Structure 1
Amino acid sequence: MSRRMNVTVLGAGSWGTTVASIASRNADTIIWARRAETADEINREQRNSQYLKDLTLHRHLRATADLEEALRDCDVLVMGVPSHSFRDTLQKVAPLVRPWVPVISLAKGLEQGTQRRMTEIIHEELPGHPAGLLAGPNIAKEVLQGMAAAAVMAMPDEKIACALQPLFSTAVFRVYTNTDVIGSELGGPLKNVIAISAGMAQGLGVGENTRAMVITRGLLEISRLGVAMGGRAETFSGLTGLGDLLTTCMSPLSRNRQVGEQFAAGKTTAEIVASMNMVAEGIKTSSVVMELAERHGVEMPIAHEVAAVVRGEYGALQAFRGLRKLTPGAEQESG
């Protein structure tokens, strides 16, 4: 790159803010926040206390609540908004962003109704813009604290991925590239559903053996559907597959695991959503995953039980009793 790039991050949640802080080490970076108070706090104190408590952001990061200002000099656009507001935000972006600017998604969700992946929405709303994603086993607070971590920059064009790679890399945050956009993108939303199941297992106190079973059988479900939708099998054993699944199922900081624990405590979906100030994508994604599984003829018994709990058909304990009724067959074939 012959000049310093201008990176724009839309969405000042925990991960969007963390990625913006990383990028500000390597490029001129501005983050757009819906709330002017959040933008002011980032500019004044280098903090986003609503999502990241007292953790300090990079001193060069700038923030604004003005979308036009955020996009004025944009060379690389990073979409850090949740899946349910992804399309609407892109529609607002369309008249403001220059042609051919690469657009990178951070969202680990699927659009309800259309079942679209986020990069598919980018292609629909911003045709002609290279679209990809940055994803991996990343707990925002740990990354911002400087703990070693890794992610994948997935783009169909490897040259573009390699050009963007340095913008989001540090000495302790390693970014790899992958041209399997479908596989890399599906790992995130699918593992969120399995993580709810792992959280239910944790909350019910069913033991580490059962949690290990849920995680490993969950990975098989993810891989089955991902391959059926066009992803490469090996992608699901990498950072955006197994890596992301392990982190989300095991970390007490994982929002989706926390959702599962609250289901185990007897709370309803409405009560859980009302108590959270951040989005747990697995709640909305569970129904979409089952629609995709039916469309592609893929059995996903764990995801099926999670979706039923989210819909309020029965509780976490009944879901695990339902899984016990399955007849085991060959490991790589059966539910």
Structure 2
Amino acid sequence: MAKLFILGAGGFGTALAVMSQANGHEVTMWSYREDEAAQLRTDRENRRLLPGVKIPEEIAIVTDFAALGEAELVLIAVPSSAVRSVSAQLHGRLALGAVAVCVSKGFEPETLKRMDEVIAEELPENPCVILSGPSHAEEVAKGIPTTVVAACRDLDMAERVQMTLSGDTFRIYVTDDVIGAELGGALKNVIALAAGALDGLGLGDNTKAALMTRGLTEIARLGVACGARTETFGGLSGMGDLIVTCTSMHSRNRRCGILVGQGLSGAEAVKQVGMTVEGYTNTKNAYEMGRRLGVEMPITNEVYKVLYEGKDIRQAIADLMGRPRRHESEYTWLQEGNLSR
């Protein structure tokens, strides 16, 4: 049994708490809002995000950090925009041997830093492990078999998380490619939003298959430029997460995209979804990263223009279909010097 402290009482934070308690761990779940914590303590259910999933009485629900110093694993499950501020509050409160496990997917606004970079700056004395992969909270909480990857440059730390959090319905692989795991998990939200838009337009399976395949190539291209390994994007944090997010109605990004395809602006669609839609901000971040690094990202660029510049989505599709002909092999094409074209 391990002592876990989970920062964030949203859907995934709650799911991790329920799963970990069922696996025999001592779990404390933290919310920054007293009204939210009080509601969860009273109802023992996250009615808005995980209706029907009971939160066991054994899970403590708090708004303070009193139990933090005893935690062996601290799971950070807040929106990516809040990771720095939350991590800063942990400084000096964690045991030296405690591992920060981040499940947030995205980049810090303005700096475009990955979550592991942000956490390392705020918690330099504690190792950080990234947990990523196809893992909708609704299914994790219900014990539906799920497989993810734990990423850390120190594989001993990744394996520690693997041993602690793995269970009968939650299988964890490990990797030392932190950059690949992070970029795959963040950038798939951009493609999932686009996939939803195709559904909103009423387009077919052929179109979505093409989007997902070429989208994964685009994600890998940017990832490699950032220092990731190509093969990581064929794994759970790349292809696996892309598939589930592009095809499931559990995905807020896909649901947001459907609304965009039906005619709403990006901002209006996010407002109607009513919850965090990481793909909306990640589109802007990915667009800027591609621009800074000189990496060709045609799908991301068109999604950005639709969401932030009001471009007609059908024209965006037509422009993608009308691009110059090229090799499918990324290796062949890059060998011809086309990285920034």
**Which letter does structure 2 place at the counterpart of 1:249?**
C
- Indicate which of 24, 27, 46 corresponds to 1:26: 24
**1:37 match:** 35
| Partner deviation per Cα, 1:253-295 (whole Å, 9 max, x = no partner) | 1111111111111112222222233211110111111121122
> Which of 211, 231, 236 is equivalent to 2:233?
236
Partner secondary structure for residue 69 of structure 1: coil
What are the ranges of 5 or more consecutive residues in structure 2 without an aligned counterpart? 334-340
1:264 counterpart residue number: 261
Q: 1:55 corresponds to which letter in structure 2?
A: V
Give how far 1:90 is off. Answer: 1.2
CA shift for structure 1 position 88: 1.1
Q: Give SS of 2:126's match.
A: coil
CA deviations 1:169-192 (Å, max 9, x no partner) are 221111111111111111011110
1:308 aligned residue: 305
Task: Determine the structure 2 residue equivalent to 1:161.
Answer: 158
Q: How many residue pairs get matched? A: 331
Cα offset, 1:233, TM superposition: 1.0
The more displaced of 317-326 and 279-288 is 317-326
Pair 1:329 & 2:331 matched: no
Cross-structure match for 1:273: 270
Query: SS in structure 2 opposite 1:49?
Result: coil
Query: How far apart, CA to CA, are the structure 2 residues paired with 1:116 and 1:18?
Result: 27
Per-residue CA distance 1:98-118 (angstroms, 9 max, x = gap): 334211111111111101000
The aligned counterpart of 1:10 is 7
The reply to whether residue 86 of structure 1 matches residue 72 of structure 2 is: no
RMSD (Å), alpha carbons: 1.6
> How far apart are residue 59 of structure 1 and its match?
4.6
Matched, 1:284 2:281: yes
Q: Which residue of 2 aligns with 1:51?
A: 49
- TM-score of the superposed pair, with normalisation by structure 1: 0.94
Instruction: Give the TM-score of the pair, scaled to structure 2.
Output: 0.92
Tell me by how many angstroms 1:50 deviates: 2.1
Pairing of 1:63-74 with structure 2 (within 5 A): 63-66=61-64, 68-74=65-71
Gaps of 5+ in 1: none
Residue 58 of structure 2: which of 40, 60, 78 is its match? Answer: 60
CA contact (8 A) 2:261 2:313 kept: yes
| Percent of aligned positions that are identical | 37
Match of 1:175?
172
Counterpart amino acid of 1:276?
A: V
CA contact (8 A) 2:257 2:269 kept: no
